[in-house]
Amino acid sequence: MKGIFSALKQVLSKSILVVCLISLISLSGIIILPQQPASASLGIKSNQTGTEYKTDGLAKENSAVTNRDEAYEEAVKAAENPQGIEKIYEKDLQAYEKEHPSEGILEKAEEVIEKVTGQE
């Protein structure tokens, strides 16, 4: 009989301890990590009203969404045509090479050889 009561006492004390620890963890999470106000994403300052907020960030986000949507539509059209993917890749590669011109290994090697031999 004493063994049953001691076992029940241990189970009850452990369950109370677990409940206390869980409540302490959830309470600390509420206190430590407060949620940010929704106006923070719109750039509203404390002295502005809800209707007077900066639209620069929103305009940039809208243009980014538009560009993303256009890029998605291009990708869908290209996926329908197997040759379209290659054409888009080649067009993107040419645009990248125009923006970032790089010399080939052979051209660099020729320059180094010319510098070393003094034929400049």
pTM score: 0.28
| b/e 66-94 (16+ beta carbons within 10 angstroms → b) | eeeeeeeeeeeebeeeeeeeeebeeeeee
Residue range 37-60: mean pLDDT, rounded = 52
Residue range 40-44: mean pLDDT, rounded = 53
User: How far is residue 31's CA from residue 33's CA, in Å, rounded to a whole number?
Assistant: 6
Q: Which residue has the higher pLDDT, 30 or 63?
A: 30
DSSP structure class, residue 63: H
> Cβ contacts of residue 74 below 8 Å, gap of 6+?
88
pLDDT digits (tens, 9 = 90+) for 63-109: 666 788 888 887 787 778 777 778 878 888 888 888 877 767 777 88
